[in-house]
Amino acid sequence: MSAVRAWLLVDVPRSRWQARCQRFFLGWLAFRQNAGAVAGLAIVAALVAAALLAPWISGSTGVVPDLGNRLQPPGAAFWFGTDELGRDIFDRIVWGSRITLYIVGLVTVIVVPIGLAVGVVAGYVGGWLDSALMRLTDIFLAFPRLILALAFVAALGPGLENAVLAIALTAWSPYARIARAEALTLRHSDFILAARSQGIPHHRVLAGHVAPMCMSSVIVRLTLDMAGIILTAAGLGFLGLGAQPPTPEWGAMIALGRDYLLDQWWVPAFPGLAILVVSLGFNLLGDGLRDVLDPKSRS
């Protein structure tokens, strides 16, 4: 163990691989210092664990009604109580973590590359291409998010995949704006000019030199967006255009539980709490990641 540690902390790395491991390890050491970030990581790790281990953690599939146990309060038998069809809310939240992770992951995978690509190209190339791409971005920015998502889902048909696609199509525009703003300031910086004067091709400059400088703003924006993405998915589910019942999607659970808010508070409260905790986790994690990803912030 200590040999590995010594290898990781050696003053002068001997190979590219060792240097990379060392950077990763030093990043982890810096990350560990940030209590909030570690809490965020723990929450996200718990979410992933719940999603992976759902069949073993939960006692039921979370979708089969049990009308004999309708609206039971939280207690020893049902930790988070049961809903209007007698389903265990704890089990449904555990199974719902899969859906949440699926939504968040898919939206991230679609939104970040599209937003980065559009923004970075617009800012770096400039001229008419910049104007064209930014007007397109403006159009997407100008639409209310949920309405545009509704239109997409109406066109594509209801379902979780289409809801995710609709959210992604409406969410990329702010990323393009952020990336463009960064690329504009970078475009005339000496290190980009140096790369160009060395004959490094444009696509390499964009992907390897400009885009990494935009990542920290994009990560911050993404973690702040996570809560919004989960809630938009929930909104679509509530309107019958997202996850279809009986899928235990957290937002849809709140939507269905709002009728019981006054007398059986636990029905909407626990899924709401789950969304709150997960959103908080992503925010804390993103904050910590941004600090670690910027090599200037650690020495």
Partner 1 sequence: MSRASAIEIAGLDVTFGRGRRAFRAVRDASFSVTAGSSFGLVGESGSGKTTVLRALAGLLPPAARIRGEMRLHGEPLRPARSRPLRRRLQMVFQDPYGSLHPRHTVDRILGEPARVHGLDSIDRRIVDALADVGLDASFRFRFPHQLSGGQRQRIAIARALIIEPAIVLLDEPTSALDVSVQAEILNLLQRLRREHALTFVLVSHDLAVVSHMCEALAVMRAGEVIENAGVETLRADALRHEYSRELLQAAQGYRTTPAGMPPAER
x/- map, 201-230, partner 1, by CB under 8 A = x--x---xx--xx-----------------
Q: Are 241 and 294 in contact (CB under 8 A)?
A: no
Binding residue (CB under 8 A) for partner 1 from 1, 2, 16, 262: 16
By CB under 8 A, residue 12 contacts partner 1: yes
Residue (of 177, 175, 180, 171) closest to 122 by Cα position: 180
Q: Which is nearer to partner 1, 5 or 196 (CB)?
A: 196
Q: Which is nearer to partner 1, 52 or 193 (CB)?
A: 193
Q: Which is nearer to partner 1, 74 or 126 (CB)?
A: 126
Q: Name the burial class of residue 60, with classes exposed (0-12), middle (13-18) and buried (19+) by CB atoms within 10 angstroms of its CB.
A: middle
Give, as ranges, the residues between 30 and 89 that touch partner 1 (CB under 8 A). none
By CB under 8 A, residue 19 contacts partner 1: yes
The torsion region of residue 81 among left (phi > 0), alpha (psi -120 to 50) and beta comes to left
Q: How far is the CB of 188 from partner 1 (least distance, A)?
A: 8
Q: How far apart are CA 99 and CA 104, in angstroms?
A: 9
By CB under 8 A, residue 183 contacts partner 1: no
By CB under 8 A, residue 129 contacts partner 1: no
Q: How far is the CB of 137 from partner 1 (least distance, A)?
A: 23
Q: Which is nearer to partner 1, 161 or 294 (CB)?
A: 294
Q: Are 90 and 96 in contact (CB under 8 A)?
A: no
88 φ/ψ angles, rounded to the nearest 5 degrees: -70, 120
| CB < 8 Å & 24+ apart, contacts of 225-228 | 225/171, 225/174, 226/104, 226/278, 226/279, 226/282, 226/283, 226/286, 227/275, 227/279, 227/282, 227/283
Q: How far apart are CA 125 and CA 20, in angstroms?
A: 32
By CB under 8 A, residue 199 contacts partner 1: yes
Q: How many residues bind partner 1 (CB under 8 A)?
A: 28
Q: How far apart are CA 28 and CA 96, in angstroms?
A: 30
x/- map, 131-170, partner 1, by CB under 8 A = ----------------------------------------
Q: Which is nearer to partner 1, 39 or 293 (CB)?
A: 293
Q: How far is the CB of 221 from partner 1 (least distance, A)?
A: 19
Q: How far is the CB of 8 from partner 1 (least distance, A)?
A: 13
Q: How far apart are CA 207 and CA 12, in angstroms?
A: 28
By CB under 8 A, residue 11 contacts partner 1: yes
Interface contacts to partner 1, rule CB under 8 A: 11-13, 16, 19, 22, 127, 188-191, 193-201, 204, 208-209, 212-213, 295-296, 299
